[in-house]
Structure 1
């Protein structure tokens, strides 16, 4: 660099120091990576987490870069869900002792509910609040079941002799796990003759021959270590015997009747299993080719089938026969179970039924009411009522069913309950409506019956506020829209001789007006500056407070001079409520908001050409060359000469300055020959600045044995050093120039002594 350039750079640095510009970097949190367990000899970083009650100790490596975090900081290791989402992360471990340690390990235990292939981790700091990039996705399984699985037909626990089931062509069988608690909470890997199947549940329906096994699916890595592989069941296929059920004499039974179902194949020493609605209702029993359906058993109705098995035959299930209840019908009570009846009142009780030819008889207190043989009853006295419904025609004429009971009672008093008709919060709502929401009849034993639907419209009402009647408020509801109406409300309800007062509801409405504050700015440039915050609302005679970040500033001023960043708000007390203004956010100057379209504040362009540099993040800009001459006042500038440049950006009422340097691009190529003879000419391998200025570019030189001679970022054009010896003439070396993503140049260097 020539002397003029050095002097200009020094002037530029001194200018920045006089302007008080600081270059402050922020902490960088790196993503966590697996680490080896120091407590296990010869260990290496894990690739999957296979935890259990026997072992659950894992480590991750974490690093971060200065500046230092605050002294009250805590680093927290968090785990995503099985799909990699951090919407609700799980905290694995925290550490507040590593605030000066830039590279350390977290030790953690896997939660016992973790099962999946897509878990990720991240690290979060609390002071300042930052979050690292997320880790790669990993398999993580807590292995809580580690025994061999057992499978059997339908999961009934009866493993067939020899582990073999012979199916008839076209039939199927269901295999299921039977020794796992809550088997449906796991996923499984099913295999047929060693090949994996798509089914993942604890049961599988099959019709194809093969050897079937299953294991708990703990992922590709952890499944093998769990050793849950089951017993095998071999499925073979054979010819059908044509099992079927003989047609029964009847399929619709009356209560107390029975019907024997019989298989069409018998006397061959086969095992028979009977099914209802697809579920086995008997164990396999030799020669049990009949089954008795008993209509006296509640719920006997359903689809019945039989399955046969035995030596020399295949497992085969018949088509089903549907058995129904001929005497089945429904009766429904069409009124509430408890009805309050006032003196001289009547209530109509009704019943409905699905019976084709029903006969009715009403009862009161278990005694038949003479002449009441219709589906309705008009009742005027207290008591317990029900109706008996009998079939008077059809196959089952003796079938009888009773309705549920209805109790008629007289009340001792009424309980009136009021509530807000919509969501309500004190000092938030500007209007509200109150209503009678529920009326309970209170009986002599203290029990209560909801009679709202029956009697709400029968009562007369009078609303009161703070004990005084509200004029014209005589309905079951009242609407309030004014802060003058704030107070305690009750309602007096009257019906015949009953007078009941409700619970009390407090109403505190917020005044329906807007309080607005404004500010003379939003950014504080330095500690000597202040920003005025004010309101157009007249505060004289009002009770009010100014707040910063929720803390009362205890000032009686009608405007505020803010010198500290924060969130400001004005609150006026109105009718017992806080009327809150909008929030004014005053921020400190953030120089990082101003960005230049340069890399590392350096510009390289061909000599004789130009380079357009743009700035963003501010309102106005002024660009200066190294002689402090204004060269542009827009958001862009055209650079045509080498040197140091400065841009001053105005954001709100503050100025921020940023600098960059410009240099011409090298026009020479990368040499492949140097003469290291100490004559001062071509003694060292010098490459273009394009590859030496960028801190992300590495230069690596190898000898003819492939050994690394030098590896350097921001190569200093200093190889070979003067002290290096070359034992042979015309030695050949190899170089690679690369950045983090790709190789930029490769070639050879011949050294001539």
Structure 2
């Protein structure tokens, strides 16, 4: 009911204004948007806060405006401010282009998913004419994209303490933050201590005061409760630090059967002690158990030991760890490759390391000890199988010797090189290519290969080969080829001591520098014109070649072909290592639409002025008058006089003609009064020829109630028609003349009978 009353009131104003004539019509008035009820929800009323979510995001605002009518291409745009009500960078919520004759309507919109605030405002903007309404009242708006209980933990680690309690020792503090929400820093929070709202609004809070702490997302005064984000509670309590530690050394080596006792540095009545090995409880919690005996008679007694103390008014604290090592259990690590290739003139060094506290070393070759080889490293010059044996000599432990893994040292049967293209290389496309040594393999008598690049690449002498012949000056590990005349097969040879090595082969094929081009005497195919003939920049005698159309071979024998079909033509010569490919020429079918002119063929000019028409799309142009006199041969011509003219445009041997009719413009004003009484005088509303009979000009007429009664392009000066009914002696109509949505003229027409 509300909308109909408002609409009638506004329309009555529009009719009153139009009855006063054109000069009395005032500018449009855009009123501020107002929250409206949702017609899709039964019994709903206008919203006061927008609490949107993925499951519900449908809101309406009501908007009213006053005539005169806006342009036919106008759009009404609903815009949203920032959270403080500022429109410096407004967000578009909705846009309507079908309400240009409706003065009271509603926008439907969705709340953007990044909106969170209490003071959002909206406004409406029209595009033609460009006007902006006053801002709406402020509304709370929140997109509730997280609606589950938050989970908080220390530093957001995800580890909620047992019982939900964290104890602080001394003057310490703890940081609490949620760990089950993405992009936590983009939200606003309400932190509480024992029911009291705190000032902190960020994703984390650092506290030292005892109390019960919990948090919820701040979705404002209206939306927070419905979001259901209230978190778990963590209790913060305080206590006194006792400074717990373990007496004695922090690294102790023991043998099996040794006795050793760990002892806490603090003892006191009422304290309980829990002992840990490698993070797991091995004893306790036990009241006043300040010591723990290491049982070295069991396997695996070595490890990291700690003690934890707790008690009334004391902090729960754990000591630093003490490392207990088994002196009879150690490892030996080989620090060189498992397989080594040794040239006759070379030496190399083997080495090992051990975790034994006081190791002794003995090296072996082929299973036999090497005299005086008792260090952690050994220099060798003979092939064989080597390992080192380590014995623990410290701590009084009787431990079994531990041998290192075996290193096999062998002499090569031969060597081979592996070469490759360095960087990107594509046959017949790359302008240059670099070849490089990738790897040197030592090959044993069994065919096994060992990569010895790092050991021997600086020892070899090198020579690059081209089709089996040495390349002068190319004696390094890389070679660059940049001339197609050097196409062929390449390989690398080398020598070290009495060994010769050769590589795999690499083919290099680069295209010749010859540029092949084709040309034609035309590119437009039309009936009755001379044939389109292709010529080339290269002589094809003695060459193997292919003519292509749209990528398909159409001729391999004719040096100069003729185009009989549309398509993309190209020539390819195959005689060289790489095919030589020409440019492309496209032959198009003749189409009169290829010719374009920038003005109507029915040209209206003001007498005494010059109006220029410019043509495009053809190869040449000729302008003629009605007596067939040539006026010009450029792509444009300036017209000054009425008459009939001819444009002839040429596309090779094809032509297109256009007739240009030039008339002088009617300069009389648009009438605002006609007498439709049938006497043949001033019965019709006649427009100047700049507006009438124009295909791109739309004439629209509305009655005094704003209802469209006539709309026509190419207006024939034929309104009102004989069938038009007038129910009053004097009636006022409203008209608008537009071109492509742009308003040219508007006003009123008074019809007198």
TM normalised by structure 1 equals 0.56
Judge conservation of contact 1:533–1:559 (CA < 8 Å) in 2: yes
The residue aligned with 2:231 is: 233
Cα distance between partner residues in 2 of 1:324 and 1:632: 105
Check conservation: 1:213, 1:233, Cα contact below 8 A: no
Match of residue 178, structure 2, among 165, 175, 180: 175
User: Which residue in 1 is equivalent to 2:243?
Assistant: 246
**Partner in structure 1 of residue 674 of structure 2:** 674
Match of 1:31 in 2: none
Matched, 1:521 2:518: no
Mapped partners of 1:281, 1:213: distance in 2: 38
- Name the residue aligned to 1:561: 562
Q: Deviations over 1:596-616 (max 9, x none)?
A: 332x44433323333233344
- Distance (whole Å) between structure 1 residues aligned to residue 636 and residue 691 of structure 2: 27
2-side partners of 1:300 and 1:645: how far apart? 105
**Alignment CA distance shift 1:338-1:193 (3 Å):** same
**Alignment deviations for residues 135-172 of structure 1 (CA, whole Å, 9 cap, x no partner):** xxxxxxxxxx99957634236375998x9999999753
Does structure 2 retain, via aligned residues, the 8 Å contact 1:385–1:407?
Answer: no
How far apart are 1:552 and its partner, in Å? 2.0
* 1:580 equivalent in alignment to 2:577: no
Counterparts of 1:534 and 1:298 in 2: how far apart (Å)? 91
Distance 1:665 1:389 in 2: 116
Question: Which residue of structure 2 aligns with residue 544 of structure 1?
Answer: 545
**1:347 CA drift (Å):** 1.0
Contact 1:434 1:478 in 2 (8 A): yes
Taking a change above 3 Å as real, the CA distance of residues 745 and 477 of structure 1, as seen in their structure-2 partners, is closer
2:677 alignment partner, SS class = coil
Residues 323/557 of structure 1: CA separation in 2 closer, same or farther (3 Å cut): farther
Is residue 2:216 matched to residue 1:212?
Answer: yes
Name the structure 1 match of 2:715. Answer: 715
Question: Which residue is 2:342 aligned to?
Answer: 341
Residue aligning to 1:623: 623
Hey, what's the Cα distance between the residues in 2 that align with 1:190 and 1:643? Answer: 74
Q: Quote the Cα distance in structure 2 between the aligned partners of 1:251 and 1:667.
A: 114
The alignment partner of 1:553 has SS state of strand
Secondary structure class of the residue paired with 1:233? coil
Q: 1:631 to 1:377 in 2, by over 3 A?
A: same
When the two structures are aligned, how many residues end up with a matched partner? 560
| Per-residue Cα deviation, 1:468-518 (whole angstroms, up to 9, x for no partner) | 6668799567777787876656666665676665444445554x3404234
Q: Contact 2:150–2:216 (CA<8 Å) still a contact in 1? A: no
CA-based RMSD of the aligned residues comes to 6.3
Return the offset for 1:175: 0.9
> How much does 1:729 deviate?
1.6
Q: How has the CA–CA distance of structure 1 residues 416 and 643 changed in structure 2, closer, same or farther, with 3 Å as cutoff?
A: same
Equivalent of 1:156 in 155, 158, 172:
158
2:239 and 2:628 map into 1 onto residues whose CA distance is 104
1:83-98 equivalences under 5 Å are none
**Pair 1:638–1:157, CA change in 2 (3 A):** same
Q: Aligned with 2:450: secondary structure?
A: strand
TM-score, normalised via structure 2 length: 0.56
Q: How does 1:287-302 map to 2 (within 5 A)?
A: none
Which ranges of structure 2 fall in alignment gaps of 5 or more residues? 1-51, 56-111, 115-144, 192-201, 208-212, 255-260, 295-299, 326-331, 395-401
CA distance in 2, matches of 1:419, 1:383: 34
**Whose radius of gyration is greater, 1 or 2?**
2
Aligned pairs for 1:342-357 within 5 A:
342-343=343-344, 345-349=346-350
The residue correspondences of 1:235-634 to structure 2 (distance < 5 A) are 241=238, 246=243, 248=245, 253-254=250-251, 338-343=339-344, 345-349=346-350, 363=363, 371=372, 377-381=378-382, 382-384=384-386, 408-421=409-422, 423-428=424-429, 434=435, 436-443=437-444, 447-456=448-457, 458=459, 502-508=503-509, 510=511, 512-527=512-527, 528-574=529-575, 577-588=578-589, 594-598=595-599, 600-616=600-616, 620-634=620-634
Structure-2 separation of matches of 1:389 and 1:658? 108
Shift of 1:678: 1.0
Q: Which moved more, 1:487-496 or 1:580-589?
A: 487-496
CA shift, 1:343, in A, is 4.1
C-alpha deviation, 1:242, in angstroms = 7.4
Deviations 1:1-49 (A, max 9, x none): xxxxxxxxxxxxxxxxxxxxxxxxxxxxxxxxxxxxxxxxxxxxxxx99
Structure 1 residue 722, shift from structure 2 partner: 1.0
Partner Cα distance (1:456, 1:152) in 2: 60
Q: Distance in 1 between matches of 2:386 and 2:407?
A: 6
What is the alpha-carbon distance in structure 1 between the residues aligned to residue 403 and residue 449 of structure 2?
26
Does the CA contact (< 8 Å) of 1:151 and 1:159 recur in 2? Answer: no
| Cα distance in 2, alignment partners of residues 317 and 523 from structure 1 | 92
C-alpha contact (below 8 Å) 2:698/2:712 kept by paired residues = yes
Please tell me whether the aligned partners of residues 349 and 378 of structure 2 are also in contact (alpha carbons under 8 angstroms).
Answer: yes
- Identify the range of structure 1 (653-662 vs 550-559) with the bigger mean alpha-carbon deviation: 653-662
State the distance in 2 between where 1:462 and 1:691 align.
87
User: Given that residues 521 and 653 in structure 1 are in contact (C-alpha distance below 8 angstroms), is that contact kept between their aligned partners in structure 2?
Assistant: no
Alpha-carbon spacing, 1:501–1:601, altered in 2? closer, same or farther (3 Å) = same
